[in-house]
Amino acid sequence: MTRVAAAPHAVVVGSGIAGLITALHAVDGGCRVTLVTKDVLEHANTRYAQGGIAGVMFSDDRVEDHIRDTMAAGAGLNDRDAVRVLAEEGPSRIRELVALGVAFDRDADGEFLKGLEAAHSYPRILHSGGDATGTAIEKALVARLRASAVHVIEHAFLVDLVVRDGRARGVDLLIGDAPGRVGRRETIDADAVVLATGGAGELYAHTTNPPVATGDGIAAAIRAGADVKDLEFFQFHPTVLGGSADPSDTGAGDSFLVSEAVRGEGATLIDEHGRRFAFDAHPDAELAPRDVVARAIAHQMERQDGRAVRLDATHLRGTYAERAAFLARRFPTIDAAVRARGLDWAREPIPVTPAAHYLMGGVTTDLFGRTSLPGLYAVGEVARTGVHGANRLASNSLLEGAVFGARAGDVIGQDASARSWPVPTARTTPEPLPIREPVEGSDSTPPSPPFSRRALQLLLWEEAGLVRDEAGLTYAGSVIAAWRRDARTPRTEAEFEDENLLVVAERVVGAALARRGSVGAHFRSDSAAASVDRVPESLPAGAA
């Protein structure tokens, strides 16, 4: 009697666009798929994405232009092959989202509405519900997943990867943890594991990320020995609603992102005297790459003794009533949030400050999500595909999740069945410098403050944030090393999260120390090139 081999089993960790697309493609490819998620399925970073998804969906746009824009925003440090895959396969993945039920906004003739965002040479951004694109995508994909054969485990925290014989063999989970009690530990064996756990915005005192973004997948990959890369490149979104960028403010954690699409519609940044200051940093002013605009805002706030700059939409459209109606229709989510804070942005400019937004680096992958650890894949923000280089182009993140999630989902079954595990090439970026504690009794370094997550967030905001230097990074590294030495063995989900944040923080600081020059989102004030704050006029040969 012939025995039929069991279908390969893949565990996908995370339920944003990348994880959901991967799971759907893998199950369609004949895999048994278990998707585990830290919260409920719907609570992923994807649902917070406002602006939209970029793609060459119009006849007068070109793939080569999308490639060039992506390379320019990334300061030329992008992987050219990955960028080409993104731009060429993006349209088919967007059409797949439409087929899965995502209703992108259209005009009266049924054509997609176009949106413009910073550093794009063409208005190629599709949006849904005005400024609720992420929510629309998440809802549609979750509905399709629940109707599929994918097995779902919610409230399941990734403690670690299971590695045997040099290959990822499953996941160690903490399930059902809650305040006052510790959840149960459970191990799930698998032929392949996919990390789709998102980023690490909780490293910083100001972030647009939800509280679940604690670097869990990156930390687990580091402990398992997988290669990580480009962790010094952390993007700060220029415009988050708020009156102060002082991270000690009690309301600093309530960061509500004001989409770049608002500036794409014509809103401007002004100082306390009403002057458009962004031209001082870049000829594209408010529509320059995010790192340039964010630093321009931070610099202006220093000149204003920490007071926020203003985002001015009061000149959009005609009368006040027309303007208010347009803002409510085009940006309903932002409009509601602004008005809930007692502000009328149709009548007066609103205060904005930068906040940590997106990690360009992560677990190193090839063009199909494969990592340096056989059997382990990574997709979405947790992955370093090379698409973003030193600075992500606006609205490429959802596209990356869809494109590379589909690619990973399509090859997992083939790899597992063939027991073939190709791995990415070796790193080409500087090795992180080792972080050491100060010598006991030395007066050269101040004593470390007691550890708390807030203390870590404040430390990285001050020393490894928008602007860094060797002295601050060295101090941050010594504090993190002391905290790691004194950390107790975690038992609860919050304690595991703290451990993960420390692991990732150590690598972020080490990578920032190793890269001594300024490029993209990594800005060293002690670099000889620190005054160079613009996208290069020309890109390396072959960049487009």
Q: Which residues are catalytic?
A: 290
Give the burial class of 117: count Cβ atoms within 10 A of its Cβ; 0-12 exposed, 13-18 middle, 19 or more buried.
buried
Residue pair 388/74 in contact (Cβ under 8 Å)? The answer is yes
The arrangement of strands across the sheet holding 9-13 comes to 151-153, 32-36, 9-13, 192-195, 376-378
Alpha carbon 325 to its chain centroid, in Å, reads 31
Closest to 234 in 3D by CA, of 362, 339, 368, 338: 362
Three-state SS annotation for 383-403? EECCCCCCCCCCCCHHHHHHH
DSSP-derived 3-state class of residue 278: helix
In angstroms, rounded to a whole number, what is the distance separating the alpha carbons of residues 227 and 231?
11
In angstroms, rounded to a whole number, what is the distance separating the alpha carbons of residues 3 and 8?
15
Residue count (the chain): 544
Neighbouring-strand partners of residue 383: 363
Tokens read off for 18: 């990348």
Dihedral pair phi/psi, residue 282, rounded to 5°: -165, 145
DSSP string, 11-47: EEE--SHHHHHHHHHHHHTT-EEEEE-SS-TT-SGGG
Non-local CB neighbours of 497 within 8 Å, separated by 6+ positions = 202, 214, 216, 453
CA atoms within 13 A on the CB side of 73: 29
Kind and range of the H or E run holding 256: strand 256-257
Helix ranges (DSSP H) in 147-289:
216-224, 260-264
Strand-pair category, 184-189 with 167-175: antiparallel
In angstroms, rounded to a whole number, what is the distance separating the alpha carbons of residues 457 and 396?
26
Kind and range of the H or E run holding 466: none
Kind and range of the H or E run holding 168: strand 167-175
